[in-house]
A and B are shown apart, each in its own frame.
Chain A
Amino acid sequence: MSGPVIVLVEAPGGEPDRLSLEALAMARGLADALGGGTAVEALVMGAGPGAAAAVAALAGHRVAAAHHSSDPRLDTYAPAAWAAAFGAVIEARGAVAGIGPGSDRGSEVLAHLAARAGLPMAANVVAVEPGATWRLTRQRWGGSLLEDATLDAPVRLMTAAGHAFAAEPVDAGAPPPAMALSAPASDADLVVRVVSHETPTAGAVTLGDAKVVVSGGRGVGSSAGFAVIEELAGLLGAAVGVSRAVTSAGWRPHAEQVGQTGTRVAPELYIACGISGAIQHIVGCRAAKRILAINTDPDSPIMQVAGYAVIGDLHSVVPAISAEIRRRRG
């Protein structure tokens, strides 16, 4: 029987985030492939006083045990200290693999752990097949290219590519037993940590979590042109997104950029206005359940991935949609 597969679960405020739940799904698939009753365990980080709630929220995800730290200094994100904690659990449990979420923090912690432990690490894995030699498939170029690779090491370290695995619970199982990690963090590992946090503007919709995203591209034409995009986003309770052309022109802040060098979104609906659909943009929005493209060019690449389209100038189409929503709401 092999050691467990352990997953780093980020649980800000006591709620495991979506990418961590996706990493658990990847781990379950790997544990099944390893066979012999291989277990999935979790290391819950960043939950603070919400650790118990975070562990309870893992019910139904087939987690056999949930480790969490009892050192309050680890409640604040500190990449090296989190990596040390993850490494300690992996070693103590004799784990065969350590998996992190495909987030900024997940890839950073796994890279630290790999560097410290002298192990290779594969980022943004979409499939893994254990065996005498482990084979995996990972994303390059933000997901516009796949790499089949091998990974040979005493412990396999990987991150799960975002939106490549389901986040939903799989059964009606009970919450896992919680196991406190006693080892405290070392001062040296706490040098780099979050020292302050600016909360987002009240009422602002976060791009990564938005149910609807209204995005504008080069076709919007100017900074002022975004008034119609913002109006529609406001009516839909949506986040505003933009393409790289827009941030490169300085029309909108980079935090709104969707794509390879910006945010990956997975909303119910992605409305792409005046976006031609370069592959670097598509990889950021193709996890959307539905895409509505509003574009003057019926042959633009965005139409290849869109489920719905309006052929026309966004400057007249988008205000007409906003007006129609207002009219129906009375």
Chain B
Amino acid sequence: MNILVCVKRVPETGGRIVLTPDGQEIDRRYLGFTVSPHEECAVEEAVRIVEARGGSSAVLTLGPAAAEEQLRDALAIGIDRAVLLESDGADWDPVSTAAAIARAIRDQESANGPFDMILFGNESADNAGFQVGIRVAVALGRPVINGIKGLEVQGDTVRARREAPGGGWETYELPIPAVIGVKEGINLPRYPSVPGRLRARKKEIERIPSPPPDTGSVPAGPSKVLLRLPVQEAAAVEVLGRGPEAAPAVVDMLEQIGVLS
């Protein structure tokens, strides 16, 4: 089984986001970088499937030269090879992003053979457009499902599970080759081992220059104008007490707001 995972380099924002003065970017000067949490799980899932069934795994990212760091993280976990679509590092809209990735996947497949499965994160942590994986699947003419928290390969089919609206779980069956949008919770990603890190450091990364694509007749967008932080209305906190002695005051409050029947 040959699997491709697509990831995106994003800043580790920590507790509080700080913007650049022009409102165009997150101020990244003091931040580390990672991949979106859903994608961390997608990388782990690809490694597990190949460990269990054989085949090979690849990771691909569209991003600046520095995104090599995220590719090496994936190699350290056990992904076999890495492709960097080297961009100007600007914040591309989802239409352009998907067009560039779909083109690169076609090139990869004609050089190295088809992927049985292509994994994306459900949505990127930063832009959160909820669409790049689906756009790539539609461009490639492959079945796709998002939001997946359980995967099981059975012959030429992949059974994929996700949380159902209103509770419970629902299952989908996709013929292979398929595209899957993974959600955090599908697995608990491992930490890379020291030998894994050493191996990853020596691996060759395939670099492909990627200028912004011409999206042709498809209007690109949405087009960013400005980023801003939501106004947080400072709530005046009422301290009901300290320690277990606060219990009667808490239950008074529960009665008052009508949640204690």
Contacts and interface: CB of A to CB of B under 8 A. Distances in A.
Given A123-B128, A292-B240, A323-B247, 17 more contacts: A104-B165, A108-B130, A120-B221, A123-B131, A140-B126, A140-B128, A147-B224, A149-B221, A150-B223, A191-B143, A192-B144, A197-B171, A209-B166, A247-B184, A261-B183, A312-B246, A321-B250
A307 interface: yes
Interface string A80-118: 000000000000000000000001110110111011101
A143 B240 contact: no
Interface in B174-228: 174-175, 183-185, 188, 217-228
Contacts, number: 278
* Size bin of chain B's contact surface: 35 or more
Contact of A310 (B98, B188, B219, B242): B242
B174 to A, nearest CB: 6
A330 to B, nearest CB: 13
Q: Which of A104, A111, A142, A211 has the most CB of B within 10 A?
A: A111
B134 to A, nearest CB: 4
Contacts of B137: 115
A21 to B, nearest CB: 14
B94 interface: yes
Contacts of B111: none
Contacts of B246: 310, 312, 317, 320
B31 interface: no
B162 A104 contact: yes
21 contacts: A10-B165, A108-B146, A114-B131, A115-B137, A115-B138, A120-B219, A120-B222, A121-B131, A141-B125, A147-B226, A192-B144, A192-B145, A198-B170, A199-B168, A269-B254, A291-B235, A308-B238, A310-B240, A320-B245, A324-B251, A325-B251
Interface residues of A, number: 101
Contact of A200 (B167, B219, B225): B167
Interface in A176-220: 191-200, 204, 206, 208-209, 211-212
A112 B130 CA distance: 10
B134 A254 contact: no
Interface stretch (B1-9, B10-18, B59-67, B76-84): B10-18
A236 B170 contact: no
A227 interface: no
B13 A141 contact: yes
Contacts of B166: 12, 17, 200, 206, 208-209
B89 interface: no
Interface string A135-161: 110111111111111111100000100
B17 A141 contact: yes
A306 B15 contact: no
A283 B229 CA distance: 13
B167 A204 contact: yes
B108 interface: no
Contact of B228 (A12, A148, A159, A304): A148
A250 B226 CA distance: 38
A197 B170 contact: yes
A305 B236 CA distance: 8
B90 interface: no
B175 to A, nearest CB: 7
